Structure formats: C-alpha cells, structure tokens
A and B are shown apart, each in its own frame.
Chain A
Amino acid sequence: MGRITLDKVAKRFGEVEVIPPLDLTIEDGEFVVFVGPSGCGKSTLLRLIAGLEDVSGGEIRIDGQNATEMPPAKRGLAMVFQSYALYPHMTVRKNIAFPLKMAGMPEEEQKRRIDNAAKILNLTDYIDRRPGQLSGGQRQRVAIGRAIVREPAAFLFDEPLSNLDAALRVGMRLEITELHSRLKTTMIYVTHDQVEAMTMADKIVVLRAGHIEQVGSPLELYRTPRNVFVAGFIGSPKMNLIEGGEAGKHGCKTIGIRPEHISVSPTEGMWKGRVGVSEHLGSDTFFYVHETGLREDMTVRVSGEVEMKSGDTVYLTPDMDKLHRFDDAGLRLS
C-alpha cells in the first residue's frame, strides 16, 4: 500500500521559502511525475517525502499514518538517486542486500528476493561485480534493484535518467514504466524533462517556484493547460504564445496554438510569413516562420517530409478548435 498525502507541507531554508504550503494526494499504485524547470522545488519536495529533509510546516501521511517526524529509515519508501548512489565498496549483490540486511531479514529470504530482482532487471551476469566495473545503464538497474527488493510502500525516483545517454534513456524509460505496470506500486518520479513526464506518468504535477501549477493526466495537461506556464512547459516543440493585437481579436491577453495545430499552405491562409530554418526529422518537419506580422516568430510542425526552402513565403492557419486563450493573469479562459 502506498497512499501518500501532503497536507499544507511547506519548506523554508532560513528566510527563503522554497515550498509554500501545498496539498497533494498520491493514490496507491499511481505513477506520479513531478516536473518543472530546475530550481522549482521538485527535488526538495521529493526529499521531504523521503524524510531526508524536515518539513517547515504541515503534515506528511503515508497510508494514513503521520510520517512527518519519522526518520527516512522508518517510512518504508525506497529511493533511486540521480547519481545512483551505489555503495562502491560492495558487490552488486551486497548493494541489493543492504536494505534487507538493515531490516534484519533472514538470509534465505534475502537470497530469494535478490535472485528475483536480478532476474527481473537482468542483473544476473554481473551480480558479483562492483559498481565501478559497470556501465551507466547497469548501475541504474542495480539502483532500481536495490529499491525493489524491499517491496516498499512507494518508490521515489530523483531524476534517475539524466546521467544516461539519449538512447539508453529511452530504453530505461520503458523499463521503468513496465516495472510499474508489473509491480503496481506507487511511484513518484522527479524530472525536468517534460517528455519523460508525458510518456511515463499517470498523473503529472507541474511545479514552479514551489507552487503546484497544475495536476492532471498527461493529456489533460496537453489539452487544457490551466495557465500560460503549463501551456509553454508541456508539449514539444513549445506552444506558440501570441500576445498583442492578434490576441485582442480573441478577447484575451494571450493566445496559444501548438505547432502541430497549424496548417501550412503556399498560397493562402490567415498569417503570411517567411520560412527561416526548417528541421527535417523524417517523420515530422519543423518550420520556424518569421515576418508573420505577429510580434512573435512561429513554430510549425508538419507531419512527414515537406519541401520548403529558407526564404519561401508561407501562409499559416491555426486550427481554431485547438486555440488556447489566457487572461491578464495568465489563467485559461474557456
């Protein structure tokens, strides 16, 4: 079981309020991703849940039990660190055994669990090596193995993939998602990469400066961002945000249109512009369009390969159904 409730949890470092009081409930078995730009307090929030930092106010409950004052060892949570934090002087087996040893588990049960974890994570081949002899991806697996043997109430991941190269990252992303669907244990995952958030999460928590900007499923956030910040943060490439006269026509401060919701024509359309750089990914093509008469340059995403040269004139037409409108305070207008 792993239902985690944060009740008016706040954190101050001296005079600096890193996290103003916030409420959040994480249901049992949920995969929750904390996402936000660096310095938004997402890692601090995770460390508060872990017990590695004291809260300055509020209450943390794990499965209904008040855990605010509990030391990390007693909370029944497992954590995977960004640096993996493997014990360099122990073999992979001993690393994984360490939490079980600390819990005073009988040797046989320890062995059964370690072997099981090793099988799930394909660690068997290097179970007697030391972390120094492993590659980044292998170390990551060991760190996860050390977390799963404990059968914790919840897993905490602190940017676990950011030290891996791009190809490996995609693979590990998939593995963690599969692990979640197999174990069905609560997972809290911190990342600054919104792609990771979108692909892995049941529920995304978008944080900025310690505030929760929005909580929702990936598609909710994509379709109905609550404010300009979430609109700009979720989605890749970024949503085009347009202020000024064009927004005024729609009776608001800012309008937003995602690059994939703009159609392109060489002859007619709503906004006329000139193509700058175009990026060909094969599956998609991105255009950066200047001189549209709008204050901002526009990014456009077109499916497939489209021939268009720098300097060509294009006409852009937004899909009016997919237009987002925001008021003076940056909040969504429906």
Chain B
Amino acid sequence: MSTQHSRSAARLMISPSVILLLAWMIIPLSLTLYFSFLRYNLLMPGANPFVGFENYTYFLTDPAFFTALTNTLLLVGGVLVITIIGGVLLALLLDQPMWGQGIVRILVIAPFFVMPTVSALVWKNMFMNPVNGLFAYMAKAVGLQPFDFLAVAPLASIIVIVSWQWLPFATLILLTAMQSLDSERLEAAEMDGAGPFARFFYMVVPHLSRAITVVILIQTIFLLSIFAEILVTTNGGPGNASTNLTYLVYAQSLLQFDVGGGSAGGVVAIILANIVAIFLMRMIGKNLDA
C-alpha cells in the first residue's frame, strides 16, 4: 500500500544498510576464501603460492579439528540444555506470587550484563582456583580434596561459566512468555480435570515452545562463537581439551600466523554455521508469520 514516491524513497533509505552489510559480508568472505587456497604464513614473507585444497586437507585431517568440532557441539548443546531446563524451572518459580519478585528478578538477570572476560576471570580465580578459590575452601571444609576444575574438566567448567551467563537470558524470555499465558485458559483446564503436571505439559510447555525456539536461536548465534571465556580461562587447553572451532581458527591464524590454514578453518566454520543457520532460520521464519 504505497505510492511510487514512497517506494523509491524507501529504496533509497534502505540502501546504506544493505550496501554496508553486503560489503561486510562479501569482501572479507571472498578474501577468506581466497587465502584458504594459498600457502600464506605471516612469518614467512615472500610469494604466497596457490596450493589448492592443501590447507583444507591439513585442517580437516588435523585431529585437533575433530576435537574442536566435538567441543563446539558439546559447548553449545550443554549450555542450551542447562539454560533451557533451568530457565523453565526458574520462570515457573518466579511466576508464583511472592514478596519482592522485582528484586529477585534483578538478581537473576544480573549475570547477563557481566562482560565475558570478567565472568570468566572471576569464576576461574575466585571460585575454581584449586588453592584460593571458594570451591576449594568449601571442599576442604567438608574434608574433600580440592578439585582443579579448569585442569581436570576444562570444557565442563567452561560450560558452567557460560551457562551462568546465559541462564538469565533464557529465564527472562521464558518468564515473559509465561506471563502472557492466559490464566483463564489454565483455569479452564483445571475445570476440565487437569492436574498440575497435565497443565504443565499440555498447556504451559506448548505455550512456551515459541519462546524456547527463540532462546535456542539467539543463544546458538552467540554460543557458536564463544571465545573470550576460553581465552582467559584455559587458552583452549590442556592440550585441545577446551578448544572450540572459533578458538582453533584463532590459534591457527593469530598465534601461528598461518593465514592460509586459518582461512581454511574459517571457511569450514562458516559452512558449519550455515548448516546450523538454515535450521534456525526456518524456525524463526515460522515465528515471523505467526
């Protein structure tokens, strides 16, 4: 519903955004693609010969790649499971009548606003440190051996830290969705003889499905590229135990200065992210229509 005037104005006004995003996507992407076929190391200046798929073969057959891929999936999956289950439970709890609900909400949401480097460092040093950390002290207090979380279970520890950061987000969204559930509908279900569990599974969960979809979508975008948490806690180690794809590519390119290899890794990361993205876009696409 519009006129020629407004349509051409609209095209004009949207073009800066489109051009910028297009440039942001195409220029670096094509460069990455180009570099990925070169033998190109910043420490070895000189010609950068074309080497075909050598970098890819190298990257994909490197056992570190497989570890990193598994770690990425574990990290994303683990955090999603923890935050969604925790988020639903917390949202259910916070939806109950209580005193000081606003304050509890403020407390619960707070971790989301803490920058990744701070939360990683605080957890690493003040909680998980095997000598001076609070957990070590608690273990000693009950007569247990302190546990060096980041050395023994680095990936699990990082999952805990990241979950702490994202649980508030999931909770907040699920709580908002839950509050929009019509209480008359729940009362009708109760009149129809549905007990609390039946009400939860037949009324609340379906109502939340859209919100859960959104939580999965948004969190996956951010979780796929977790970086700072790994950098400041474990540096991907010990060995490759807590290296995800993002960190692996970073290490390859900016620590070993292997531009070619890092670019091949980047392309692989993009392809994998696209596979995930296709699923996610379908989900949000449906939500847009609704």
A residues lining the B interface (CB < 8 Å): 47, 51-54, 71
| Interface presence of B96 (CB below 8 A) | no
| Interface presence of B3 (CB below 8 A) | yes
CB distance from A17 to the nearest CB of B (A): 16
Counting contact residues on chain B (CB < 8 A from A), the size range is under 10
| Interface presence of B282 (CB below 8 A) | no
In Å, the complex CA distance between A54 and B1 comes to 9
Q: Among the interface residues B2, B3, B4, B5, which one has the most CB atoms of the partner chain A within 10 A? A: B3
In Å, the complex CA distance between A53 and B4 comes to 8
Question: Could you pull out 11 A-B pairs where Cβ atoms are within 8 angstroms?
Answer: A47-B1, A51-B3, A52-B1, A52-B3, A53-B1, A53-B2, A53-B3, A54-B3, A54-B4, A71-B3, A71-B5
With A47-B1, A54-B3 already in contact, 9 other A-B pairs whose C-beta atoms are closer than 8 Å: A51-B3, A52-B1, A52-B3, A53-B1, A53-B2, A53-B3, A54-B4, A71-B3, A71-B5
Closest to B2 in A: A53
In Å, the complex CA distance between A166 and B5 comes to 39
Closest to B3 in A: A54
Q: Which residues of A contact B4 (CB under 8 A)?
A: 54
In Å, the complex CA distance between A53 and B2 comes to 5
In Å, the complex CA distance between A71 and B2 comes to 11
Chain B residues 1-55 with CB under 8 Å of chain A are: 1-5
In Å, the complex CA distance between A52 and B4 comes to 10
In Å, the complex CA distance between A112 and B70 comes to 76
Q: Which residues of A contact B5 (CB under 8 A)?
A: 71
In Å, the complex CA distance between A51 and B5 comes to 10
CB distance from A257 to the nearest CB of B (A): 42
In Å, the complex CA distance between A253 and B2 comes to 43
Q: Which residues of B contact A71 (CB under 8 A)?
A: 3, 5
In Å, the complex CA distance between A113 and B4 comes to 34
CB distance from B3 to the nearest CB of A (A): 5
Closest to A44 in B: B1
CB distance from B124 to the nearest CB of A (A): 49
Q: Which residues of B contact A52 (CB under 8 A)?
A: 1, 3
Q: Which residues of A contact B1 (CB under 8 A)?
A: 47, 52-53
Closest to B7 in A: A54
Q: Which residues of A contact B3 (CB under 8 A)?
A: 51-54, 71
CB distance from A156 to the nearest CB of B (A): 16
CB distance from A179 to the nearest CB of B (A): 29
Closest to A53 in B: B3
Q: Which residues of B contact A51 (CB under 8 A)?
A: 3
Closest to A51 in B: B3
CB distance from A320 to the nearest CB of B (A): 49
In Å, the complex CA distance between A47 and B3 comes to 10
Q: Which residues of B contact A47 (CB under 8 A)?
A: 1
Q: Which residues of B contact A53 (CB under 8 A)?
A: 1-3
CB distance from A71 to the nearest CB of B (A): 6
In Å, the complex CA distance between A272 and B1 comes to 54
Closest to A70 in B: B5
In Å, the complex CA distance between A53 and B3 comes to 5
In Å, the complex CA distance between A52 and B2 comes to 6
**Binary per-residue interface labels of chain B (191-216) against chain A in the complex, 1 for a CB within 8 Å, 0 otherwise:** 00000000000000000000000000
Closest to B1 in A: A53
User: Which 10 pairs of residues, A with B, have the shortest CB-CB distance?
Assistant: A54-B3, A54-B4, A71-B5, A53-B3, A53-B1, A52-B3, A51-B3, A53-B2, A71-B3, A52-B1
In Å, the complex CA distance between A184 and B273 comes to 67
Closest to A48 in B: B3
CB distance from B7 to the nearest CB of A (A): 9
Closest to A52 in B: B3
CB distance from A47 to the nearest CB of B (A): 8
In Å, the complex CA distance between A265 and B65 comes to 97
CB distance from B92 to the nearest CB of A (A): 36
In Å, the complex CA distance between A52 and B5 comes to 10
In Å, the complex CA distance between A64 and B2 comes to 25
CB distance from B5 to the nearest CB of A (A): 6
In Å, the complex CA distance between A53 and B6 comes to 10
CB distance from A217 to the nearest CB of B (A): 33
In Å, the complex CA distance between A51 and B6 comes to 11
In Å, the complex CA distance between A54 and B4 comes to 7
In Å, the complex CA distance between A54 and B2 comes to 7
